[in-house]
Amino acid sequence: MQVKVVKFGGTSLADADHFRMVADIVRSDPSRRFVVPSAPGKRFRDDIKVTDMLFDCYHLVRERAYGEFESMYRRIRERFTGIISDLGLDFDISGELDYIRQSMLHRSGRDYAASRGEYINGLILAKFLGFDFIDPENAVFFQENGLLDSERTNRVLSAELRKHERAVIPGFYGAMPNGTVKTFPRGGSDVTGSIVALAAGADLYENWTDVSGFMAADPRIVDDPSVIDTITYTELRELSYMGASVLHEDAIFPVRNAGIPINIRNTLKPSDPGTMIVAEAPDTEHRNIITGIAGKKGFSAINIECDMMNAEVGYGRKVLEVFENYEISFEHLPSGIDTMSVIVATAELEGKRDRLLKSLQHMARPDKLSIEDGLALIAVVGRGMVKNKGVAARVFRAVSDADINIRMIDQGSCEFNIILGVEEHDFEKAVRAIYAEFDR
Ligand code: ASP
């Protein structure tokens, strides 16, 4: 039989109604054997995620604001006991909640506090589904430097999973070598799902959320963009890096190497096929030459002009060494014969502008040197572009027909990604123009 690992995000487990939907999804397919839950998320727009309330509790104890701590903790308690009673479950969680409260008051640490939302939600979900409960404290391990201990985790978790026909494994946390709880970065339950999928030797990692997959463009910019049906890991990396977010970036690594596909699904619309994330995808049809468009504002170009730059061996190295010395990482490096631009996130320049310019002047002796802020970068990504003629022409024509000036162009050697730099105020218009060109 196939094995599927299913991860449910916070909105998919925000209240009892959502728990029921989750249970229906899990029970409708017997191969959905291992379930990874997040902590309860928002039920409505101004609601607070349980993880955020737990962080607040941690800070309130540190500030010795015990009265506010108690009222915040009461709200967390009510969220969980509310879910249990609405589900009609005969399950007494008060001992666990008392223990966590005591531990927080005894300064058990930030990560411990943050992780308890997943822990309690996991206990409730395991009870509701009739599944075993595996505490990642005993199966997901970090190294002393805070990075995942992949080898040990995979070994111990695989052995543990083999003991269970069906189990719930809370997301987001594991243990340090000394046994204390450590969390992944925010949104890290996606990573746990991926780790469990690897350890289970799963055929598929289903990641259930509140959207029907990756959109081909940001729905805040483009009206009703289409959902991407298949995307490769590499394309996904490019789009996520440029701001498209549905899945935690680090979640792709464990499954990618093992060739396990990820399927992004919508808990509210379980019949939607969602987006498949795969290692290799078949060639796309003409209509889908572009897989997706993503972009971000907030970039700056450091423009350097120097006569005979191209003839001077080592010029680029001198320039980049200055950036390295100031610990500024660069995004792109478009260059001409006697010019080069270093594109960086504007935030990276904070407090370093003058010193950076002085050092560049000193080290590279340019004829002209300037910083230009207010750039937006747009990534047009699509494996269908590789070896397909005319795609770049269509991108540029669409942008120029929209009366937008392109400030920078970059295409990686892999040929499935064209990066455009435009003025920030042209950003949305350019994304819409490119999307419209390929949405035919
Ligand atoms: N609950 C954690 C967070 O809000 C982890 C997760 O949901 O993935 O970041």
Q: What is the mean pLDDT of residues 278-285?
A: 74
418, pLDDT greater than 80: yes
Ligand 1: residues within 6 Å at CB? 10, 38-39, 49, 51, 117, 171-172, 186-190
Which residue, by CA, sits nearest to atom 5 of ligand 1?
187
Q: What is the mean pLDDT of residues 352-360?
A: 96
252-273 tens-digit pLDDT? 999 998 999 999 999 999 999 9
Show which of 210, 240, 260 is a domain's final residue.
Answer: 210
410, pLDDT greater than 60: yes
Residue whose CB lies within 8 A of the most ligand 1 atoms, among 49, 140, 173, 181, for a mutation test: 49
Which residue, by CA, sits nearest to atom 2 of ligand 1?
187
285, pLDDT greater than 60: no
Is residue 37 domain-shared with residue 168, that is, in the same domain? yes
287, pLDDT greater than 60: no
CA–CA distance, 166 with 349 (Å, rounded to integer):
51
Ligand 1 geometric centre to CA of 127 (Å): 21
Ligand 1 geometric centre to CA of 280 (Å): 29
pLDDT of residue 198: 98
Ligand 1 geometric centre to CA of 26 (Å): 21
Show which of 194, 210, 226 is a domain's final residue.
Answer: 210
Ligand 1 geometric centre to CA of 16 (Å): 19
% of residues, the chain, pLDDT over 90: 83
* Ligand 1 atom nearest 187 alpha carbon: 8
Please report whether residue 386 resides in a domain. yes
* Ligand 1 atom nearest 9 alpha carbon: 7
% of residues, the chain, pLDDT over 70: 98
Is residue 16 domain-shared with residue 122, that is, in the same domain? yes
Is residue 202 domain-shared with residue 300, that is, in the same domain? no
Ligand 1 geometric centre to CA of 171 (Å): 8
Is residue 340 domain-shared with residue 201, that is, in the same domain? no
* Ligand 1 atom nearest 189 alpha carbon: 8
371-380 tens-digit pLDDT? 999 999 999 9
Residues 6+ apart with CB under 8 A from 236: 214, 247, 252, 277
Show which of 186, 210, 234 is a domain's final residue.
Answer: 210
Residue 13: phi, psi to the nearest 5? -130, 30
Which residue, by CA, sits nearest to atom 6 of ligand 1?
187
107-156 tens-digit pLDDT? 889 999 999 999 999 999 999 999 999 999 999 999 999 999 999 999 99
440, pLDDT greater than 70: no
157, pLDDT greater than 70: yes
416, pLDDT greater than 90: no
251, pLDDT greater than 70: yes
Residue whose CB lies within 8 A of the most ligand 1 atoms, among 189, 210, 246, for a mutation test: 189
Total domains, the chain: 2
pLDDT of residue 389: 81
Please report whether residue 48 resides in a domain. yes
Is residue 56 domain-shared with residue 161, that is, in the same domain? yes
For residue 140, the enclosing domain spans: 4-210
Is residue 52 domain-shared with residue 162, that is, in the same domain? yes
Please report whether residue 57 resides in a domain. yes
Domain with 58 in it: what CATH number? Answer: 3.40.1160.10
Please report whether residue 264 resides in a domain. no
Residue 371: phi, psi to the nearest 5? -115, 130
Ligand 1 geometric centre to CA of 321 (Å): 38
Is residue 329 domain-shared with residue 186, that is, in the same domain? no
pLDDT of residue 288: 61
Residue whose CB lies within 8 A of the most ligand 1 atoms, among 186, 196, 209, for a mutation test: 186
Is residue 200 domain-shared with residue 328, that is, in the same domain? no
- pTM value is 0.88
* Ligand 1 atom nearest 248 alpha carbon: 8
57, pLDDT greater than 90: yes
Is residue 39 domain-shared with residue 161, that is, in the same domain? yes
Domain with 300 in it: what CATH number? Answer: 3.30.2130.10
* Ligand 1 atom nearest 172 alpha carbon: 5
CA–CA distance, 430 with 400 (Å, rounded to integer):
9
Residue whose CB lies within 8 A of the most ligand 1 atoms, among 13, 36, 38, for a mutation test: 38
Residue 419 Cα distances to 134, 160, 331, 338, 412, angstroms: 44, 45, 11, 22, 8
CA–CA distance, 329 with 55 (Å, rounded to integer):
31
pLDDT of residue 163: 97
Ligand 1 geometric centre to CA of 172 (Å): 6
Please report whether residue 274 resides in a domain. no
Please report whether residue 228 resides in a domain. no
Please report whether residue 92 resides in a domain. yes
Residue 95 Cα distances to 81, 92, 127, 173, 174, angstroms: 12, 7, 16, 21, 22
3-state secondary structure the chain: CCCEEEEECHHHHCCHHHHHHHHHHHHCCCCEEEEEECCCCCCCCCCCCHHHHHHHHHHHHHCCCHHHHHHHHHHHHHHHHHHHHHCCCCCCCHHHHHHHHHHHHCCCCHHHHHHHHHHHHHHHHHHHHCCEECCHHHCCEECCCCCECHHHHHHHHHHHHHCCCCEECCCCEEECCCCCEEECCCCCHHHHHHHHHHHHCCCEEEEEECCCCCECCCCCCCCCCCECCEEEHHHHHHHHHCCCCCCCHHHHHHHHHHCCCEEEEECCCCCCCCEEEECCCCCCCHHHCCCEEEEEEEEEEEEEECCCHHHCCCHHHHHHHHHHHCCCCCCECCECCCEEEEEEEHHHHCCCHHHHHHHHHHHHCCCEEEEEEEEEEEEEECHHHCCCCCHHHHHHHHHHHCCCCEEEEEECCCCCEEEEEEEHHHHHHHHHHHHHHHCC
Ligand 1 geometric centre to CA of 232 (Å): 25
CA–CA distance, 188 with 248 (Å, rounded to integer):
7
Is residue 172 domain-shared with residue 309, that is, in the same domain? no
Ligand 1 geometric centre to CA of 114 (Å): 9
Ligand 1 geometric centre to CA of 115 (Å): 9
* Ligand 1 atom nearest 39 alpha carbon: 1
Is residue 201 domain-shared with residue 54, that is, in the same domain? yes
pLDDT of residue 290: 87
Is residue 107 domain-shared with residue 202, that is, in the same domain? yes
Ligand 1 geometric centre to CA of 250 (Å): 14
Ligand 1 geometric centre to CA of 247 (Å): 11
